[in-house]
Amino acid sequence: MATLILIRHGQSTWNAANRFTGWVDVPLSKQGREEARRAAQQISNYRVDVCYTSLLIRAIETAIIALTECEGVCGDRSPVLKHNADDPDWHGWDAYEGDPSQELPIFLSAALDERYYGELQGLNKSQTAAKYGSEVVHTWRRSFATRPPGGESLADTAARTLPFFQSRILSHIAQDEVVLVAAHGNSLRSIIMHLDQLDPETVPDLELATGVPIVYEMTPAAQILSKRTL
């Protein structure tokens, strides 16, 4: 039986300030780091084989804390960030092949980045709702197909997230491995929509709390046996 653990990053500094974040690379807040530590305790009974996260520091921080705060998750292995050799800033970081008995790979990918919020990035959510109307802003934030000004819809996000999920992450499920994915509200919403076979109409009500693990037990063929929130 394979296990897929999904964790939305802990509270970021801009979550705390009620600002639209998107691709702006802000870190976890103190509360967010505490949430990631609680997540580590909640998944401590699982020995993770591989981890995937986005390129954004709040997700990377969450992944590392979740993997290192409790010994059982990693065992004696050290997490190693695996960078993309196609990145123009690559410095040979992934030239080291590693020893699976000593290292746990964390693969970083832009495919798992948060939804791009375009012109809304950096704006206060309450002030934006007051300016444009709460219903309009709710549609920008929660609908499946509507884009915020200059940004991505959830459908756009799913168009990059799901192919990566199906080609990279499910390959580990097929090998009966335990996979941790630390990402973002919208990139994970698209994955959960796919796994739970949800209709786009249900998306506005799909809310993911920060730092709370969602665990799927699955067959190697990706058939879901159980799902629970820790």
- Residues with catalytic function: 9, 114
- The percent of the chain in helix, strand and coil, each rounded to the nearest 5, is 40, 20, 40
DSSP, res 226 = E
As a whole number of angstroms, the distance between CA 28 and CA 63 comes to: 12
Helical (H) or strand (E) element with 147: none
Q: How far apart are CA 94 and CA 98, in angstroms?
A: 9
- If we measure between CA atoms, which residue out of 220, 227, 164 comes closest to residue 197? 227
The closest of 52, 152, 65, 28 to 109, measured between CA atoms, is 52
- Return the SS3 of 208: coil
Return d(Cα 107, Cα 134) in angstroms, integer: 37
The continuous run of DSSP H or E covering 29 comes out as none
